[in-house]
Amino acid sequence: MRRLALGAAGLLLAAALLAPYAVMLLTALKPAAELRVSPPRLLPQQWRPQNFWMVLRDPEFQSWLTVSLVVAVASTLLVLVAAVPAAYHTARHRFPGRAAFLFLVLVTQMFAPTALVVGLYREFFELGLINTYTALVAVNAAFNLAFAIWILRAFFASIPREIEEAAAVDGCGPAGTLFRIILPVAAPGIVTAAIFAFIAAWNEYIVALTLMTDASMRPLTVGITSYVTAYVQHWDLLFAASTIAIVPVVILFASIEPYLVGGLTAGSAAGGGGCPVPANASQEPNQPGSGTSHARKRVSASWSEPHPPAAPPGSGRQRPTRASS
């Protein structure tokens, strides 16, 4: 009974969350005349899928979509390139100013883009970067970098150090340990940071509205507002464009879903992908460096093998005591 109640509650919650998207899709399939009917109807009387085709054929929409994809992908890659080494170093090393650095990274999340937009416009105007990809990519990467560092730092800190020690025994240097051992293990954290950075850049509006004054350089969030202005009202095209705008995010979630549900240390034990054996390493079975996964097998075995139970008191031989004279 409890399981049924939880299932019903989950279905109700899913229905409540998906209801706005269903209304948006149904509205996008209505002709323009039905949008002014009173009282409004949920289902269209005349289905019009041509609205999506009209939006996709619009050259301006294609330009907005291209700008959004370029900015979101480039800023996400920039965030990962900067956040991975920073998070790994702060998780594995203690250095003077480490706490202050992490505090300053966290403080940057307190500033809203709206409060900084005037200063950002002035700075990029002086640099001649208005209406350029560079300005929008740099701003989105800067706003999302702090959150990515904190997420990845938590993942790196939870990875056992024995994995890195085993990789060093196998002949890995610091860079090889990071790229060949740690990053595959931390794939769920990297995917989480990438999703956050991509969605934040994809949905960003106020900075793009300020920095991209050229109509051909507007991203999707800014461009689709031109369907409804003081002079024209194409609500059907606006809802169709909004529906298309969520498709890349859905595809992103569907493609990386296996990484989200995978275990944190899945694949970190014995297996391929190890580090190359040094040329001067012995190939004896019991020597360090005798195989790419020898040390990792040893670490995995130390985790998986049960420890022998402790002997009960009085069951073993006790140390003899010397009689007093």
- Residues 259-301 have pLDDT tens digits of 665 534 333 444 444 554 444 444 443 444 443 444 444 444 4
Rounded CA-CA distance 124/126 in Å is: 5
Q: Where are the alpha helices (DSSP H) in 133-290?
A: 133-158, 161-169, 174-176, 183-185, 187-203, 206-211, 220-223, 235-245, 247-261
Is residue 48, in this structure, part of any structural domain at all? no
State the Rg of the chain over Cα: 28
Q: Where are the alpha helices (DSSP H) in 93-160?
A: 98-107, 113-127, 133-158
Is residue 237, in this structure, part of any structural domain at all? no
> Structurally, how many domains does the chain consist of?
1
Is residue 272, in this structure, part of any structural domain at all? no
**Average pLDDT value for residue range 79-107:** 85
Is residue 131, in this structure, part of any structural domain at all? yes
Task: Output the domain CATH number for residue 185.
Answer: 1.10.3720.10
E strands, the chain, in order: none
Look up the pTM and report it. Answer: 0.75
Is residue 273, in this structure, part of any structural domain at all? no
Residue 186 three-state SS: coil
Output the average pLDDT for the chain.
Answer: 79
Residue 208 three-state SS: helix
The domain containing residue 102 runs over which residues?
Answer: 62-226+242-261
Residue 45 three-state SS: coil
SS percent in the chain: helix, strand, coil, step 5: 70, 0, 30
**Amino acid at position 237, single letter:** L
Is residue 307, in this structure, part of any structural domain at all? no
Percentage of the residues of the chain whose pLDDT score is greater than 70 = 79
pLDDT value of position 275: 56
Residue 228 three-state SS: strand
Per-residue model confidence as pLDDT tens digits over 298-314: 444 444 444 444 444 44
